[in-house]
Structure 1
Amino acid sequence: MIDREIIKNKIRDILLYLKEIEPFLKLSPSEIIKDYTKLRTLERNFQLIVDSMVDINMHIISQKNLVPPDDYQSTFSILGENKIIPIDFALKIAPAAGTRNRIVHRYGDIDKKKFITDIQKGASDFKQYCRYIEKIVV
């Protein structure tokens, strides 16, 4: 059985992390890149957002006895394939897990400008994810 409190708390966390980075989303990538405090804040909050989404995905997958994922990225496609979130949206947002891994584990160089512009463009996707998930817990 899906624990609605766990899901609600994780969604609350995602929305809080988004609120924390909101001021940075209005800055140019160069303004963020030249200030490592801003860049690291953005990276850390991005990591926390993705971690929370994956936690939600894993909880749903586990409680619905769905096929276990191979990695964080596939947790999104599993939800899409099972019509928990739209498949096209799942495939759009899933690469965030790979970006999270590259940031956390420092797999090669990250294109900082691309990372920043992707978050600036994609922040609304994180909110949309929360709306899709909220539909299954109400």
Structure 2
Amino acid sequence: MPKIDIQLIRRKVKLLEADLAALRKYRNVSLEEYLKNQETQLIVERLLEKITGRLIDINYHILKEEYGIMPEDYYNSFIEMGKNRIVTPEFAEEIAKSAGLRNALAHEYEKIDQTLVHKAINMALTQIPQYIQKVTDFLG
């Protein structure tokens, strides 16, 4: 019988918390300052990519092991987390948007809109702790 590896999830959560701590350093950087500093852009992009990748890993693990579900893509991994009440469906819709940003950052499909990346800093700092709490509650 499939079983969630709680230790795996806890390790991912610790890594998420470390990534969020690193990202917090950039929360008060103005858009103007952010757009002028390519090094800051690269650091923030990489942190957001890592954070979103970890969220997706957690989603896939829980969905596969607990429900036998393999989402069709990263976006839908969040939607399935909502359908299965690990997070609320409304929250799932909001946080699922991070999957698109992650793909753009990881694969450089097109020129990255740094204004959106800058906006994602505070969204991540707000949403990810909520996600972590919901997953932790689910695990018991």
Both structures adopt the same fold (TM-score exceeding 0.5): yes
- Work out which of the residue numbers 62, 68, 72 in structure 2 matches 1:60: 62
Matched, 1:27 2:29: yes
Aligned equivalents of 2:38 and 2:31: distance in 1? Answer: 12
Identity of matched residues, %? 28
Aligned equivalents of 2:79 and 2:87: distance in 1? Answer: 9
Shift of 1:119: 2.1
Supply the AA of the counterpart residue of 1:41.
I
Matched, 1:132 2:137: no
- 3-state DSSP of counterpart to 2:67: coil
Aligned equivalents of 1:125 and 1:21: distance in 2? Answer: 13
Structure 1: runs of 5+ lacking an equivalent? none
Aligned equivalents of 2:124 and 2:12: distance in 1? Answer: 19
The correspondence of residues 1-138 of structure 1 with structure 2, limited to 5 A, is 1-138=3-140
Supply the AA of the counterpart residue of 1:14.
L
Q: Which portions of structure 1, spanning 4 or more consecutive aligned residues, are displaced by more than 3 angstroms?
A: none
- 3-state DSSP of counterpart to 2:103: helix
**Equivalent pair of 2:63/2:69 in contact (CA under 8 Å):** yes
TM-score norm. by structure 2 comes to 0.93
Structure 2: runs of 5+ lacking an equivalent? none
Q: Which is further off, 5-14 or 57-66?
A: 57-66
